[in-house]
Amino acid sequence: MSRVKEGDYQALREEVKKVLKQPEYDDGSAGPVFVRSLRLAWHASGNFSLVEHNGGSNGAGMRYPPESVDPANAGLHHAISFLIPIQAANPWISHADLWTLAGTTAIQAMGGPEIPWQPGRSDYDSAEAAEEHRGVVGDRLPDGALGASHVREVFTRMGFSDREIVALSGAHALGRCHRDRSGFDGPWVVNPTRFSNQYFKLLLRPIWKPREWDGPFQYEATVAGTKLMMLPTDMALVEDAGFKPWVEKYAADQDLFFKDFSMAFGKLIELGVDRDDTGFARLVKKSAEQGKPLDQTAKPGGGSCPFAGTGAKGRSAGGVGGCPFLAMNREAKL
């Protein structure tokens, strides 16, 4: 891996793209392990709690027990190991920033939308520091064997609406489950290295039947000669009256899904990050506290870019050319 100039996040994104192709790994790509549910960027962020005000992507606590040995994080050492050469060549970036940057980069490289991202996360320097700051953050991630009430409880604890919950679930368009990790087995979609709204289209098809096997309960179907699976938490999205309308909307409109996913994922990886109370950080905090999507939350300073005013470590990594958040909203209205 190459050393890049400190602060050149676009160059760092190019380094991440170099490690995405992994012929010996799942479906030849490391991309899904960086972003998908039960994967690095998600699990580094998805243990945030508005109630206890701890967890989130800051600190990279997954490097230490108990998070590093949490069964819910099984297999994430693969993603971390893929990024170690980049970290070694560029020690100026924190693990927490690199993990989330890799997730957003992988999504876009696999055909998905640009995700709002800012640097500025710090790392804990010991297990003791992680435990003192984060507290007990276990048992906060979704259990694929449960239903709609569990899904809603997990995500509302972080400040997400039903719309955002369904949008984030669309990450199941990437990757697969592994029996030796979660107990479940198989991919959700035919092409698990391409980000799309195919997951929602498949969810709505009346093809899913309980799988007869010696593993945990899951659904299965064969599409285009490929055996696919859905978890109970996936099927809950079409069984719940609050979730299903968004499944239908995203199945019919990939652009809408991309817009909503981009904002929801950008919000997810920002939760729990210690910043000043301006710009995007303020917007995310307000969105979480109100349980509203970002585009339904009043922006700091009215219509100005929420990335503005955050200082040298808080500028958008999206490069020049205007506000990435407002650009997403403009494109969604076209």
Q: Which residues are designated catalytic?
A: 43, 188
- Rounded to whole angstroms, how far apart are CA atoms 307 and 311? 9
Q: Are 207 and 259 in contact (CB under 8 A)?
A: no
Q: How far apart are CA 54 and CA 42, in angstroms?
A: 16
| φ, ψ of residue 220 in degrees (nearest 5) | -145, 160
Cα separation, 176 vs 320, in Å, equals 35
SS3 298: coil
Read off the tokens for 310: 């955050």
**How far is Cα 164 from Cα 262, in angstroms, rounded to an integer?**
10
CA gap 101, 92 in Å, rounded: 14
Instruction: Note the residue count of the chain.
Output: 334
- Identify the DSSP state of 59: B
